[in-house]
Chain A
Amino acid sequence: METNAAPAICVRSLTRRFGRAVALDELTFSVASGQVVGLLGRNGAGKSTLLRILSGQLRPSGGEAELLGAPVGVGTLGRLCLIGDTPDFGGLKNAASFLAVCRSLFPAWQEEEAVRLVPLFGLPLKKPLKGYSRGMQTALLLCAGLASGAELTVFDEPSLGLDAVMRERFYDAVVEARRREPQRTFLISTHLIDEVARTLDYAVMIDGGRLLAQGEPEALTRLYLCVSGAADDVRAATAGFATLRDEEVAGSLVRYVHLNRPEDAEEIRACGRVQTAPVSLQRLFVFLTGEKEAERDAG
């Protein structure tokens, strides 16, 4: 298997308008190959529009989009697998016939992976697809995506309809596939950030069609800290840092602060009378969208 030096996804000033509404607004970001990437955003942030442009289903109003070093087009589609958020099996009878079609549809299909995943998700091959629950339908699509062998596999809201066990199995399968095939890139578009966070190597956060932040989850959250303890102690320890949010819980104070540099976390811990915890990716996302909203309101 060859390694691909070109970025898996590269978008420059990507804009898409629907009438007066701007779904994507000068969006620019780049993602290296061989990672599990989270495309994180609220409902209506522009995630699905971006995925439709990347899969050639929609033309951008402006800007450029490249997949694996080539402009989006027929040439890139053979290397892409897009698993949408709405199960659709095109009138096929059962999982066996669906997987047989997928085998021909995806040029790099991995049959042994499909054989391994189908029982893992508890999917009966011969049962009519009409009798599948929503979760089973989603799981079958996820199996197809994982076994597609596509260099870039995109999952749009993959957890819809899945129970907790299935979701965990899916994330484990992604991590396993990533470990086994280091050149493959998985793009997971979701708004359930905490759930997917452990799986991600890289995160791209968008809001209102614009880039909010991008980077490795650890690097993104390093400048944020959750400090808790007696109210006076917390206030003293975090003096001089930008406060993002205060929560009073049973007489104690939980404060989320923005650090000036990563080493500031050690200084806060050194005061001894407060407890500290890293800020989750979801919390960070909430803070960043809050900041953006405040900026927009102020503007």
Chain B
Amino acid sequence: MLVEQAGWMRRSRFLGAMRYHRAWMGRLAGWCLLVLLAGNAITIVAALAGAGDLNMEGVSADFSLTIALLLVCACLAAHSRTRFLLRFGTARFPVWLSNVVALFLGTAAFLLGTLLINLAVGGTVLALSGAMPDRFSLTAYTEALPSGAALLGYTLRESLEQLPRQLMWLLEWTCLFYLLACCLRRRRGLTLAVVLGVPFVCFMLTLMPFIRETTAALESGTDGQIMAMGFEWMQWLARVARFVTEQWQWVQLGGAAVSLPLSYLCMRTTPQP
């Protein structure tokens, strides 16, 4: 029995936990990719049968679908998957670490999978566009971009350039969603109230003075005052949009950095079976 000589990753069961995550998350992500592939195949077959046409605007990784899968996987990992690992007497730190690492790696693989599927569909559409140009086409939303094979190559190159940034976002969202899932497991009602309630209250508190002023202006103001109010509204919205554009990435990064240790503290003290 050479357990003492084995490395920390094996002794702490981190590798075992990773293999477990690979088993269930791989199956879930695999099914999702299969559904995505089947959906695309049906669209192609439908276009072949003359039930519609298929126009692609290039290839890209499906980040929004990946984020949705990440949320589902984070909830599963924080709930039943953690319970399974802890039942065998696995320590909490390797379970937490494996959850975060597996969520990131699993969803990153899924993101790449969506890009590959998109590429395969794009290749198929490109091949079919030669024979049936009225049903299959590869044209961009703007004429400034090329079409056909050149568009496929251009969007693929762009997607690959965006990939590191998307993976960074994915890592940040992994931290945020895992904390959310841990909190949901612990106090579902309170977490939902905070996650949905706080932004709503903040939004309403910011909005209320404007609404009050607008209502007053509409009731007793002149046309000039109403126009000035509308202009103020536009300025406010522009400020919000600028803030989101310029600062959001730092807000997200900061949030992720804080979420990571908080998720461990939350998971560590959760009563287990």
Contact = CB atoms under 8 A, between A and B. Distances in A.
A28 interface: no
Given A84-B273, A91-B76, A108 B1 contact: yes
B75 to A, nearest CB: 12
B88 interface: yes
Q: How big is chain B's contact interface, by range?
A: 20 to 34
A103 B76 CA distance: 22
A272 interface: no
Given A88-B84, A105-B88, A78 B3 contact: yes
Interface string B28-45: 000000000000000000
Nearest to A184: B1
B91 A73 contact: yes
Contacts of B93: 74
A56 B91 contact: yes
A93 B31 CA distance: 14
Contacts of A222: none
Nearest to A154: B89
A251 interface: no
Interface residues of A, number: 37
Interface in B62-85: 76, 80-81, 83-85
Contacts of B91: 56, 73-74, 77
Given A89-B84, A90-B83, A77 B12 contact: yes
Contacts of A75: 11
Contacts of B6: 78, 107
A81 B10 contact: no
A84 B273 CA distance: 9
Contacts of A149: 1
Binding site of A, secondary structure by majority: helix, strand, loop or mixed? loop
A83 B90 CA distance: 11
Interface string A1-19: 1100000000000000000
B79 to A, nearest CB: 10
A102 B15 CA distance: 11
A183 B83 CA distance: 30
A100 B23 contact: yes
A229 B250 CA distance: 88
B245 interface: no
Contacts of A88: 83-84, 87, 273
A57 interface: yes
B1 A80 contact: no
B80 A105 contact: no
A106 B20 CA distance: 12
A100 B11 CA distance: 17
Which of B2, B15, B85, B273 has the most chain A CB within a 10 Å cutoff? B273
B231 interface: no
A286 interface: no
Interface in A63-80: 73-75, 77-80
B157 interface: no
A88 B92 CA distance: 18
A151 interface: yes
B13 interface: yes
Contact of A90 (B20, B89, B92): B20
Given A82-B87, A91-B24, A93-B27, A104 B12 contact: no
A250 to B, nearest CB: 49
Contacts of A103: 16, 19
Contacts of A151: 1, 3
A82 B91 CA distance: 12
B80 A77 contact: no
B272 interface: yes
Contacts of A236: none
B156 interface: no
A101 B19 contact: yes
A55 B16 contact: no
A2 B83 contact: no
A91 B90 CA distance: 17
A31 B101 CA distance: 38
Contacts of B23: 92, 97, 100-101
A86 interface: yes
The 4 closest A-B pairs by CB, nearest first: A90-B84, A105-B16, A55-B89, A78-B11
29 contacts: A1-B1, A55-B89, A57-B86, A74-B91, A74-B94, A77-B12, A77-B89, A78-B6, A82-B87, A82-B89, A83-B88, A84-B273, A88-B83, A88-B84, A89-B84, A90-B24, A90-B84, A91-B80, A92-B24, A97-B23, A101-B19, A104-B15, A104-B20, A105-B13, A105-B88, A107-B3, A107-B10, A107-B13, A108-B1
Given A107-B3, A108-B3, 9 more contacts: A77-B13, A77-B89, A78-B10, A83-B88, A88-B273, A90-B84, A102-B16, A105-B17, A106-B13
